Amino acid sequence: MAVTLDGISKNFGTKTLFEDVCISFSPGNHYGLTGPNGAGKSTLLKIIMRLEHATKGTVTYPSRVSMLKQNIHEFKDEMAVNVVIMGNERLWKAFKERDMLYEQEMTDEVGFKLGELEGIVAEEDGYSAEATAEVLLSGIGVPSCYFNKKMHEIPQGIQFRVLLCQALFGDPLALFLDEPTNHLDMESISWLEEFLKSYKGVLIVVSHDRHFLNAVTTHIADIDYETVIIYPGNYDDMVVAKEAVRSRADQDAKSKEKKIAQLQEFVDKFRSGTRASQVQSRLREIDRLQPQELKKSNIQRPYIRFIPAERQPGKVIIAAENVCKHYDEVRVVNNFAIEIHRGDKIGVIGNNGRGKTTLLKMFAQVLQNDFGKLELGHNVLISYFPQSHAEIIDKKEEKLLFDWLKQKRPNAYDQDIRGVLGKMLFGGEDAFKKVPSLSGGETARLILGCMMMQDHNFLILDEPNNHLDLEAVSALGWALQEYKETVVCASHDRDLLDRFAKKIIAFTDKGIEFFDGPLEEYLKVKNSDNNKACKV
């Protein structure tokens, strides 16, 4: 059964997100739900999941659906493996009722009810439920030591992975996922891609990970022009098709303008002459050709460009030797050595919690190493994008965006500040928004705007793509590719890393590895080594 939207509209005050949407999401197809931040992706997904009311319209979907929940606090006292099994609501209810009945005195009525429940358990493959749940947990990168622990006893990032397994459990006929790659490392994302490729039901997914969308989607449902437009193919296919449609529309408009000008010239020339009927005919043609008022596209892409300082650094940007950093008794970085040269473009990858942020903070001189030597080269000027925006932006301060940037660069001209804000999509009155009101994506764009105004020849970015929409991530990738000096950037976004990184620092089970080549080559070598190890 398809997921069908019939006349769905959603308004917030005077703002219309989408109007009179009538579409069906068919079984076997995988849909990426796209649009810039604020377009209404998560809102539409919540309407489809009946977690939010539409202004008007109805949604129908199959009897068994599953969705990625974010409410980890509601499961704090449940074991992780049980949270996964809860993804099959019918099975979980049968388990709970069966356990209650076994605690009661056995009667004919209780025995009959237990027989019914055992039938449900069998129908839902309940006897293998725990093993299936553990396979999912292992695949998504949850260590086995957490399987039988209560949710509040395991790290928050792992808890979100458990909820993702819950959504995948039980063979749902429709699956709704909002940002499923959050809290996942590259290996887990790759596993999820393969799992979803084999999924046979209706998949609707929201993601800011371009590579992930290209890997798992067969169609794109794009929110634009106050409606939802279905494009066949993955995200890159949609971009090509959308640009072609836009180009044709622009050409049609120019052609109509030219034709109208020619007709108007005839009308002006013969308006008072003997060719009145021909004039009237051309006036009617002018009316027919007048462009219709079209709904404006909500697609916006920031213009990100990092211009290096005039002060040039030496050949060596960072020299590290036997660098160690530990927290309590846990050594996060151990005997690390590297020499980063001017012009290097380095991507930093690895599982969460391995120490990527710690290393970047030491590079950025905001955290001191415990042992070893880590020195900046001659004339190195750093601009740093932290993973935690709060390290730079205090949202308790009721500052306007304009004033916040002015404080960061007091000698900048007002028009330069307004120019940067405009490039970061804070045009017009948006320049005078208050900092506490910013969303995660807007906060990230503000930090990038600040970096654009700084003097730098060494950019350090820690997960800058978090909260950015696909258009902004693409613009950032272009900016890092075009930057003429040195970049070190940690990210799980493969598309972003593919754009600029020529070398890789990888945090692995065996320690920190350095690879002189792009991410794609590193992954090929790693997969080849793994295959060799399996054969041995």
Q: Is 8 helix (H, G, I), strand (E, B) or coil?
A: strand
Query: Is 339 or 264 the better-scoring residue by pLDDT?
Result: 339
List residues bridging with 10 in a β-sheet.
18
Alpha-carbon distances of 205 from 27, 42, 139, 467, 498, rounded to whole Å: 14, 10, 19, 16, 23
Band of residue 495 on the pLDDT scale cut at 50, 70, 90? very high
- The amino acid at 203: L
The reported pLDDT for the residue numbered 247 is: 65
Residue 333: name the closest of 313, 316, 353 by CA. 353
Render pLDDT for 270-308 as a digit per residue (tens, 0 to 9): 777 667 777 778 777 777 767 655 555 666 789 999 999
Higher pLDDT, 525 or 175: 175
Cβ–Cβ < 8 Å for 4, 27: no
The 3-state secondary structure of 430-482 reads HHHCEHHHCCHHHHHHHHHHHHHHCCCCEEEEECCCCCCCHHHHHHHHHHHHH
Q: Please say whether the beta carbons of 90 and 66 come within 8 A.
A: no
Same fold, 3-98+124-238 and 316-535: yes
In this predicted structure, what is the pLDDT of residue 293?
Answer: 54
pLDDT score of 485 more than 90? yes
Inform me whether the pLDDT recorded for 527 exceeds 80. Answer: no
Give the mean pLDDT of 309-325: 95
Lowest model confidence (mean pLDDT) among 252-261, 366-375, 445-454: 252-261
Its CATH architecture, for the domain 3-98+124-238, is 3-Layer(aba) Sandwich (3.40)
Query: Which tokens is 139 given?
Result: 């695949």
Second CATH level (architecture) for the domain 316-535: 3-Layer(aba) Sandwich (3.40)
Contact between 362 and 415 (Cβ < 8 Å): no
For the cut 50, the answer to whether the pLDDT of residue 533 exceeds it is no
What kind and span of H or E run contains 102?
helix 89-102
User: Which pLDDT does position 535 carry in this prediction?
Assistant: 41
CB atoms within 10 A of CB 173: 17
Of the candidates 450, 452, 317, the one whose C-alpha atom is nearest the C-alpha of residue 374 is 317
Is it the case that residue 532 has pLDDT exceeding 50?
no
pLDDT tens readout for residues 228-249: 999 999 999 998 888 777 667 6
Over range 483-512, report the average pLDDT: 94
Domain boundaries, the chain: 3-98+124-238, 99-123, 316-535
Per residue in 118-143, pLDDT (tens digit) is 999 999 999 999 999 999 999 998 99
CA separation for the pair 168, 372 (Å, rounded): 46
Lowest mean per-residue pLDDT among 88-97, 193-202, 252-261, 484-493: 252-261
For residue 491, the 8-state DSSP code is -
Contact 182, 36 (CB under 8 A): no
- Name the least confident of 108-122, 256-270, 278-292, 430-444: 278-292
The tokens for 246 are 């836009």
User: Sign of the CA dihedral 91, 96, 101, 102?
Assistant: positive
Average pLDDT of the chain? 89
How much is the average pLDDT of 383-388? 95
pLDDT tops 50 at residue 536? no
